Structure 1
């Protein structure tokens, strides 16, 4: 420890001595000579103190003494780049290339200058030329630069190509493994990613990132069982790989294996900082398992971490609706509407809750708001038709059907079924049967939906006759 402090003090004294010699030289008070390495140390010192103007002055003095130093010319180019003097930087780098054409920093700084001047094609051409000059780590560095250029100019397929090339050169390159996972998903090049990562795994079977990326690529083409197997290998290598558990949870949800999904998502909560999306996903699984109390528990946990509380209040309301707890459902929705007062989804469910509570007029007001906000959404119109039918507003129902036709710009088979209901309600059976048959011809599958609204239709012999007639067809 004492030796470390002693060396540190020596370095401090050394730089202070160099700075004094530099100041004497700059002020013309000395005929002493500074080596190129000494100038580099002085320049680096000024840069570390963010005294960039002084660093540039020192660089210019150094170049005066060492005009053929590529390193000093590159350093000056880097400093003038910070001042946005891009053309000056390019001139300096061209000069540096005469003395040391194999210095990778020349190409990297030239790329930065060209991009700043919006000369993307020149930057790409420069880097592609440089790729033929360098090997190993330097080639990899250039490929990362090229990938960034393509990213900036939204040529995303070529970003993937660069990362793939890097991994062919360095299969265990962690930065490339992290990045290619995102770009595989973005470009949809899952088949290539599967082939690439299988090769990497053959060489590096204990690369948890390669196994993870393989799983993500399988997941991208909906081969969820294979994805889960790959993620499990990643977890064997790194049992605290929370993203692997997260993706396993997602894959199990896709497979509708909700209990398995919950188990893995709960593991994510143990390993990582709690996130609203994880709580929400667990809530979704419990909802699918019809364990509505547990679903609400996790939706509420999610709401504490999510600014969009309205959406989670809606999910909680939906669980109450499924349990026929319409008053509790309505309370949640009323709270959600205070956050987003014109959300058609919230208004629709609130209207349905009010209708279930026998509050027909209130329900109709909500349904009317829904069709005003979303005139081309069929669900809102259908809810309005049901509300009007339940309230026995048959003439208004026919009027709203005409409005729906005008707003949606299409004659839906479902409209004919509801017209039939309203005409039956008005005691106009002949017209009702015409509309009912039009519905059967257009969409026989929708008959079940209409019978849920009015099961007594089947007590009419004429309706049964029409159903049988169309079944024979």
Structure 2
């Protein structure tokens, strides 16, 4: 029995807490102690649970259930050897107690001995008719082992015993998805819904499977049934809105997102999606209003700030875009796309040093796309730092060997520094790999293009 301070069944709990305040020891039967301990464990009040266990065992020293709570505390405190020793003692006293097996499996699981834990749980299955929790525990152990087929089997067994076990249903679908068995998931859910046609969770999951397969009309139908089953199901409205966006039905998507906001506390996700829909409908005033509502609701949501940034980039208002990209970067400093966006904005504002810094940061974070190397190198050339530009392009050529765009740039840089041998080497390579990019020399290094060496090499290639 779970106690609450607001119900009429809390007399033992009130009595126990009164006893703690007065130090006057009162008697409780073992079942009352079990309920008190269970209450404290559920509340996360471990110190009070330990006091209740001690007092309980003082009054009922032979109670196996109270000793099992002691095992639970040992496991929680990571005192696994103590827990194991106590379980071995209890197993001698009561070898048919399935809870002893469950706790034994819990310890094995904590030690990452998941196969042994499964063996113990299967032994426990022989000792009880209440198998649902055991099936679920076995399923979880198989998940720890990444054995998704076996995990799926046991979660399905849970649902065969208890069709309302939504946790097991979610886990079954998780296994299907991990195995990329979306069609199988759909078949399973349809059979499940034949038995339980008003299960909003199953309809919702069916809609998600259809959406993954881009069967959007079927997804919408599934979400409709989820809403018919429970017209306050926020998740169904949100998912329905996402599908309607895919179908470019932006007004309908807005309607669904708006319903979700009425049913529950406003979510930054729904506000962001509404803003996006309004932007697609060319209603810029409402779009930006909802983007601002998004970041007001969740100031730490970097996606909200980046949405505002991109909005202002599209409007060519780069000063505002720069302000908001800095907000996004302050929240997520490791996001490559934000740094590239930062670089682009600064480039448009002719703030070349900051733009170069943005591309450099993107490279440091592992973004080795060709354009990132080229944009950064060209900025270094513009900033008058040829040595840094050479170092940048020499790193780039390790990732993109025989790339003419890089080779023509290196040719121009070395020739600018009068290192003619290296310049000629890269110029010949560039011409060999793709002569169409020879305009790079004239565009980026006009003073070099007039050199006799360059003119002769270009003529030879005509």
- TM-score, L = length of structure 1: 0.66
Find the residue that maps to 1:225 and give its secondary structure.
Answer: helix
CA contact (8 A) 1:184 1:217 kept: no
CA contact (8 A) 1:87 1:113 kept: no
The answer on 1:129 being equivalent to 2:123 is: yes
Q: How does 1:115-194 map to 2 (within 5 A)?
A: 115=109, 119-132=113-126, 134-135=128-129, 138-151=130-143, 155-194=147-186
The answer on 1:318 being equivalent to 2:318 is: no
Identify if the C-alpha distance between structure 1 residues 122 and 383 changes in structure 2 by more than 3 Å, giving closer, same or farther. Answer: closer
Residue in 2 aligned with 1:88? 86
Residue in 2 aligned with 1:458? none
Find the residue that maps to 1:206 and give its secondary structure.
Answer: coil
The CA distance in 2 between the partners of 1:262 and 1:164, in whole Å, is 37
For residue 374 of structure 1, report the CA deviation from its aligned partner: 1.1
Identify if the C-alpha distance between structure 1 residues 245 and 183 changes in structure 2 by more than 3 Å, giving closer, same or farther. Answer: farther
Residue in 2 aligned with 1:279? 271
CA contact (8 A) 1:413 1:438 kept: yes
Q: How does 1:329-368 map to 2 (within 5 A)?
A: 329-333=321-325, 345-346=337-338, 348-356=340-348, 359=350, 362-363=351-352, 365-367=354-356
CA contact (8 A) 2:87 2:100 kept: no
Q: Select 1:407's aligned residue among 396, 410, 430.
A: 396
For residue 414 of structure 1, report the CA deviation from its aligned partner: 7.2
The CA distance in 1 between the partners of 2:407 and 2:248, in whole Å, is 34
The CA distance in 1 between the partners of 2:395 and 2:132, in whole Å, is 61
CA contact (8 A) 2:148 2:179 kept: yes
Identify if the C-alpha distance between structure 1 residues 145 and 316 changes in structure 2 by more than 3 Å, giving closer, same or farther. Answer: same
Superposed CA offset, 1:178-204 (max 9, x none): 444445444544333222211111112
The CA distance in 2 between the partners of 1:338 and 1:345, in whole Å, is 13
For residue 282 of structure 1, report the CA deviation from its aligned partner: 2.7
Identify if the C-alpha distance between structure 1 residues 170 and 46 changes in structure 2 by more than 3 Å, giving closer, same or farther. Answer: closer
Q: Select 2:194's aligned residue among 202, 216, 240.
A: 202
The CA distance in 1 between the partners of 2:235 and 2:288, in whole Å, is 25
Shifted more, 73-82 versus 295-304: the winner is 73-82
CA contact (8 A) 2:234 2:264 kept: yes
Superposed CA offset, 1:366-398 (max 9, x none): 135513641723333444577689x7x9x9899
For residue 241 of structure 1, report the CA deviation from its aligned partner: 0.8
Which consecutive unaligned segments of at least 5 residues does structure 2 have?
Answer: 1-7, 20-24, 40-47, 75-81, 417-425, 445-462
Residue in 1 aligned with 2:59? 58
Identify if the C-alpha distance between structure 1 residues 166 and 350 changes in structure 2 by more than 3 Å, giving closer, same or farther. Answer: closer
Superposed CA offset, 1:280-320 (max 9, x none): 23333344444444332222222223354655333322212
Residue in 2 aligned with 1:269? 261
Identify if the C-alpha distance between structure 1 residues 157 and 319 changes in structure 2 by more than 3 Å, giving closer, same or farther. Answer: same
For residue 233 of structure 1, report the CA deviation from its aligned partner: 0.8
Q: Select 1:304's aligned residue among 291, 296, 299.
A: 296
Q: Select 1:213's aligned residue among 184, 205, 209.
A: 205
Superposed CA offset, 1:30-66 (max 9, x none): xxxx9xxx95446547747842112113332xx4xxx
CA contact (8 A) 1:317 1:329 kept: yes
Superposed CA offset, 1:8-40 (max 9, x none): 89x98xx99xx9xxxxxx9xxxxxxx9xxx954
Query: Larger radius of gyration, structure 1 or 2?
Result: 1
The CA distance in 2 between the partners of 1:270 and 1:88, in whole Å, is 53
The CA distance in 2 between the partners of 1:222 and 1:91, in whole Å, is 57
For residue 111 of structure 1, report the CA deviation from its aligned partner: 2.9
Superposed CA offset, 1:191-250 (max 9, x none): 332222111111121121221122222233343332222111111111111101111222
The CA distance in 2 between the partners of 1:85 and 1:398, in whole Å, is 65
Residue in 1 aligned with 2:239? 247
Which consecutive unaligned segments of at least 5 residues does structure 1 have?
Answer: 1-7, 20-25, 27-33, 64-71, 455-473
CA contact (8 A) 2:404 2:430 kept: no
**Total equivalences in the alignment:** 391
The answer on 1:76 being equivalent to 2:67 is: yes
CA contact (8 A) 1:367 1:380 kept: no
The CA distance in 1 between the partners of 2:388 and 2:407, in whole Å, is 15
Identify if the C-alpha distance between structure 1 residues 211 and 343 changes in structure 2 by more than 3 Å, giving closer, same or farther. Answer: closer
